[in-house]
Chains A and B, each alone.
Chain A
């Protein structure tokens, strides 16, 4: 079982819709959770982090964490074509280093 799993996609949504990206992790001792956005050919850019169960909102982005279910998600409201990228989930587990998922490719269709 992979430590951090994401649906590889590709995920396509129409402009203005809500994009939902999901991530599960295996280490129950994980404490910190991150979402990075990576445009094609570029390096990852941090967009959200969450430490506590529940929702955390930042502009059009909402991160949701459920530690009991070992599940973290990212919602993007009012999706724009500029949101088209690969989204990486990263988890800081008991080993104190970040483990990254393989990413979900999102395409927002105009």
Chain B
């Protein structure tokens, strides 16, 4: 069965510091991968998605970036965090053959102070 991991689970960072969040998927090959952000009391906002290694599509212009160095690894980064970057960051995957159905990882709760 498929498993999706995210780390760290929680993170507290000062404004202006860098960020690196990691997501890995097990038990599937060539998945579509997604990064979402959920602000407090809000819906999920799609940030990036990837259909393959090195292929990244950005949905929202911002100071975040994403990379996919390996088939089942997805990384979210920032060079300088803003207060508005605080939130719950969720990685999700879907099968190439059924891109609609997405499954979420446990998430990373980021607080920028």
Whether A associates with B in a native complex is yes
In contact, B43 and A103 (Cβ under 8 angstroms): yes
Number of interface residues of B (CB under 8 A): 19
In contact, A44 and B44 (Cβ under 8 angstroms): yes
Within 8 A of B (CB), among A23-38: 31-32, 34, 36
Cross-chain contact of B49 among A45, A46, A97 (Cβ < 8 A): A97
In contact, A97 and B90 (Cβ under 8 angstroms): no
The DSSP consensus for interface residues of chain A is strand
Within 8 A of A (CB), among B22-59: 41-44, 46, 49, 59
A43-B105, A43-B107 in contact; A100/B43 too (CB < 8 A)?
Answer: yes
The verdict on B7 contacting chain A, using a C-beta distance below 8 Å, is no
Chain B minimum-CB-distance residue to A44: B104
Bound complex: CA of A24 vs CA of B90, how far in Å?
A: 24
The verdict on B63 contacting chain A, using a C-beta distance below 8 Å, is no
Size class of A's contact patch? 20 to 34
Cross-chain contact of B46 among A32, A41, A45, A97 (Cβ < 8 A): A97
Report which A residues bind B (CB closer than 8 A): 4, 31-32, 34, 36, 41-46, 49, 88, 90, 92, 96-98, 100-103
Known A43-B104, A43-B107, A100-B43; further 18 A-B contacts with Cβ < 8 A: A31-B100, A32-B101, A34-B100, A34-B102, A41-B109, A42-B106, A43-B88, A43-B90, A43-B106, A46-B101, A88-B44, A90-B44, A92-B100, A97-B46, A98-B102, A101-B43, A102-B41, A103-B43
